[in-house]
Chain A
Amino acid sequence: MSLDSHAELERLARELEVDPADLAGLHDVGTDGLRRLRHLVSNALHDEHHQAFQRAAQASVLLPVALTAKLSETLIGPYLSSRIAAEMAPDRSIRLARHLSTGFLADVCLSLDPSRVADTVRGLPDDRVVAVGLELLRRKEYVTLGKFVDVVNHSVLAAMAAEVTTGPALVGIAFAIEAHHRLDDLIGLLDDDRLDLLVATALERDQLLTALALMSHLSPDNRRRAINVDAMARPDVLRDVVAAADAEDLWPVVLPLVALLDDERLEVLAGLDDLLTPELVARLAMVAALDPDLWEPLVHTMGRVPPERQVALAEVIVETDGLDPNALLSLVALAPDAADLPGVAALRERLA
């Protein structure tokens, strides 16, 4: 089970107030399926007493904010408060939040759907939101923090990013973020050391595939930074990347990432003679033939192997069953500077 599936299962268990182990039978549903189920459950629970939450929000307007805050902490509790907060006008809930303790707000966050209170979260002073975020970080509530990354202001994200320094916290938060552009924002705020730590921790946890999938959603600059972390210079890791991409049919995702490896890492990869087998290269050619966007990264990667091997691999591509020679010629033409590569020159010669 991937880490993001695990995170989704935890969220669902929290919504239903059960032990995640009770939902072990859902392991094979997958991340997207679990997320859909959680949204259905969450919305249904909210809809069950929607009118009651609305009435409570209306009643709160009749009371001084300080009294509402006191009732929330002593009587209503964090779970119901989170539901009622979602029905309040943002200006009212912002005033209320100023009167609530940091610990209570952290409790509320655990059962709050951030998308329902996005305006409130963005309207609160940064230092208040950061204080709650730090409390959640202290409690290791990484899934909840990840959910809130989707709605907090960039200034809050920057302040929080500076405080997230451990591998488990980096992975837990990053893998729980739903909006890809916010993940990109977070990655952009991490220095290289912490980006290294994030990827290394994901690898330690056998979460290579999830890490690669997330990298593919990043902006070009961050994608290049992420794929060139220290761990990616290790031959064993590069072997795992190739093996995982091959076993899981993930080349359309992984090949463009491989093409972003810097010279040092590409040299390591190209030097793994036993890895770039003719069979693998033939499969890559088939993948690239189906998606012309992948041809450039494939040629770029092949350009790093020694010239004599390039020619041999080009022979493999030409001999691959099912590849249309004319389509191949067109595809080769798509790769910039391809003519300079011995392998591509050999390919042209054989196809001509």
Chain B
Amino acid sequence: MTDAIQRLAATLRVQPDVLDVLEDVDPATVDTVRSAYEAARDRQEHALGEAFEGTIRLVPRPVRGRVRKLLVGS
């Protein structure tokens, strides 16, 4: 199991052996998958933050507090 597979497994939070399909893949390609995953995860987090903020701003005032509490916890 290459270091690249170990790194990808840690990023995906899975056991390295479930990535055995990548054993013969060039480590650089495995690292590309990991980088792409991390970027997608970060985009998702950023988009969620923006979507939640915008939603809280736009929902009717009577439910705004409850929506805010659900979405951001305060």
- Shortest CB-to-CB span from B25 to chain A, Å, is 6
A58 in contact with B70 (CB, 8 Å): yes
Known: A26-B29, A28-B24, A40-B18. A59 touches B70 (CB 8 A): yes
Question: Which listed residue (B21, B22, B48) contacts A52, Cβ 8 A?
Answer: B48
Interface residues of B in 12-70 (CB under 8 A from A): 12-14, 18-19, 21-22, 24-26, 28-29, 32-33, 36-37, 39-41, 43-45, 47-48, 51-52, 54-55, 58-60, 63, 66-67, 70
How many A-B pairs have beta carbons closer than 8 Å: the answer is: 113
Stretch from A72-80, A150-158, A280-288, A311-319 that touches the partner: A72-80
In the assembled complex, the CB of B16 is this many whole angstroms from the nearest CB of chain A, namely 12
Q: A59: nearest residue on chain B (CB-CB)? A: B70
Q: Are A49 and B44 closer than 8 Å at their CB atoms? A: yes
Q: Which chain A positions have C-beta within 8 A of B18?
A: 36, 40
> Are B55 and A16 within 8 A (Cβ)?
no
Q: Is A89 in the interface zone, CB < 8 Å from B?
A: no
Q: Tell me the bound Cα distance from A25 to B24 in angstroms.
A: 10
Q: Shortest Cβ distance from B49 into chain A, in angstroms? A: 9
Contacts of A352 in B (CB 8 A): none
For chain B, the bracket of interface size reads: 35 or more
Q: Is the CB of A23 within 8 A of B29?
A: yes
Does A179 interact with chain B (Cβ within 8 Å)?
Answer: no
**Contact between chains at B51 and A80 (CB < 8 Å):** yes
The smallest C-beta distance from B31 to any residue of chain A, in angstroms, reads 10
Cα(A16)–Cα(B37), bound, Å? 6
A76 to B44, CA, bound (A): 11
Cβ–Cβ contact B63 & A63, under 8 A: yes
In the assembled complex, which residues on chain B have CB atoms less than 8 Å from the CB atom of A34?
A: 21
A278 contacts partner chain B, Cβ-Cβ < 8 Å: no
Q: A37 and B37: CB pair below 8 A?
A: no
The reply on A71 being an interface residue by CB < 8 A is yes
CA distance A17 to B33 in the complex (A): 11
Q: Across the interface, name the chain B residue whose C-beta is closest to A71.
A: B55
Q: State whether the Cβ of A15 lies closer than 8 Å to any Cβ in chain B.
A: yes
Closest chain A CB from B36 CB (angstroms): 4
Tell me if B37 and A36 are in contact (CB < 8 A).
Answer: no
User: Per-position contact with B for A1-43: 1 when CB-CB < 8 Å, else 0?
Assistant: 0000000000000011110001111101110111011001100
Cα distance, A18 to B37, chains bound together (Å) = 10
Asked if B41 contacts A48 (CB within 8 A), the reply is yes
Once A18-B36, A45-B44, A55-B71 are accepted as A-B contacts, the answer to whether A36 and B21 lie under 8 Å apart by CB is: yes
Give the 10 A-B CB pairs with smallest separation, nearest first.
A25-B29, A33-B21, A16-B36, A59-B70, A44-B12, A75-B54, A76-B51, A62-B63, A18-B36, A59-B67
